[in-house]
């Protein structure tokens, strides 16, 4: 069985990435594209400035865009690539109308009854769906994926939790595509690093606590760790690179950490990579140009794992921000829900 799917906010950078990933999906059939009022009634292929790849996928070219209203969307699942302010208003309307909303927006990530999920990290948090439906009286529901920087970080932190992880410090070097299209003005970012991304550090410090927390059947008890972040925009097109310092409640060797990273198992899902975490031994890896497309953009790459004091380690982690960090994350969440018969 193939499920019909739609994209909310189909013309933006993440919306285009959704369409690219859904075009030949074995479980999902793209049937609806919803966009802003000025694009309604226009064919997607004629209207959008396609930037995700060389050509608009054939499956999307002739789809007429519809309003962001449940009455006009023909789908079982909608993937939301909406800006958070619009998502806060639109997504509940779809959930109330019975749609499954797989959201990349930040609007409901930290809501107590909304699952914030990375399938390899906390699939049990999908248990919040029934809590959400009961609390809100919805026939459908919203499931979210984290911020793009958070996903890359937390995938690397999950294997370290069993080693006694206590504190995390992270400095991000974030790609331009994370700012959307047209993004950062060229005269602002060329020959430059911008040491501020509005709202980013709060997300990176808060979301891991929910993701790494424990679901007790009614709510998520946040993880008892401390995360401190400093986020920076750099002149790279795709791929967020993060320098991470971690401290444990005991001494952890580099070899233990490598084994832990490599122990994170992939899932039997269409979008899942063969290896979730790729550990590189070269002293100058990972690098965005060399490593962002690992696992079709769904793997993260870890390198430069070093001791940092008696109980600490430091390493570099890198992942594709619009694939694993955005559209691919939502698609993987939807695949997991299909596999678990939630959809």
Got the DSSP string for 45-114?
HHH----SSSS--HHHHTPBPB-SSGGG---SEEEE---HHHHHHHHHHHHHTT-EEEE-SSTTTT-TTS
Nearby residues of 45 by Cβ (< 8 Å), 6 or more positions away: 56, 60, 61, 62
Would you call 231 a catalytic residue per the annotation? no
Report how far residue 330's alpha carbon sits from residue 143's, in angstroms, rounded to the nearest whole number: 9
DSSP, collapsed to helix, strand or coil, labels residue 331 as helix
Contact 7, 15 (CB under 8 A): yes
Would you call 240 a catalytic residue per the annotation? yes
Q: How many angstroms separate the Cα of 246 from the Cα of each of 14, 90, 154, 169, 227? A: 31, 38, 12, 6, 9
DSSP, collapsed to helix, strand or coil, labels residue 170 as strand
Q: Which of 25, 125, 231, 240 is catalytic?
A: 240
Token pair recorded at residue 200: 């980013």
Nearby residues of 318 by Cβ (< 8 Å), 6 or more positions away: 152, 239, 240, 241, 242, 286, 287, 288, 291, 292, 300, 301
Q: Which of 25, 148, 231, 320 is catalytic?
A: 148
Nearby residues of 18 by Cβ (< 8 Å), 6 or more positions away: 7, 10, 79, 81, 327, 330, 331
Catalytic residues: 148, 240
């Amino acid at each position: 069985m193939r499920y019909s799917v739609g994209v909310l906010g189909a013309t933006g950078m993440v919306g285009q990435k959704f369409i690219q990933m859904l075009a030949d999906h074995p479980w999902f059939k793209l049937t609806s594209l919803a966009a802003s009022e000025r694009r309604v009634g226009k064919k997607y292929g004629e209207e959008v400035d396609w930037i995700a790849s060389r050509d608009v996928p054939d499956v999307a070219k002739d789809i007429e865009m519809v309003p962001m209203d449940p009455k006009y969307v023909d789908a079982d699942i909608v993937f939301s690539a909406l800006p958070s302010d619009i998502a806060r208003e639109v997504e509940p309307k779809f959930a109330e109308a019975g749609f499954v909303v797989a959201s990349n927006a930040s609007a409901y990530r930290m809501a107590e009854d909304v699952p914030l999920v990375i399938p390899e990290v906390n699939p049990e948090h999908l248990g919040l769906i029934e809590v959400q439906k009961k609390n809100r009286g919805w026939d459908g529901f919203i499931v979210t994926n984290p911020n793009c920087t958070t996903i890359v970080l937390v995938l690397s932190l999950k294997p370290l939790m069993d080693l006694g992880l206590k504190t995390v410090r992270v400095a991000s070097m974030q790609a331009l595509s994370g700012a959307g299209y047209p993004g950062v003005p060229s005269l602002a970012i060329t020959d430059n690093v911008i040491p501020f991304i509005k709202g980013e550090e709060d997300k990176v410090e808060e979301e891991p606590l929910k993701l790494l927390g424990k679901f007790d059947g009614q709510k998520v008890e946040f993880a008892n760790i401390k995360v401190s972040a400093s986020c920076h925009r750099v002149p790279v097109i795709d791929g967020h690179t993060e320098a991470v310092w971690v401290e444990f409640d005991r001494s952890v060797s580099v070899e233990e950490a490598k084994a832990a990273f490599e122990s994170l198992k992939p899932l039997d899902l269409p979008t899942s990579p063969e290896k979730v975490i790729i550990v590189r031994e070269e002293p100058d890896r990972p690098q965005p140009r060399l490593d962002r497309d690992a696992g079709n953009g769904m793997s993260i790459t870890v390198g430069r794992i070093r001791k940092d004091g008696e109980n600490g380690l430091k390493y570099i982690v890198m992942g594709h921000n619009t694939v694993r960090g955005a559209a691919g994350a939502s698609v993987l969440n939807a695949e997991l829900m299909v596999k678990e018969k939630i959809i």
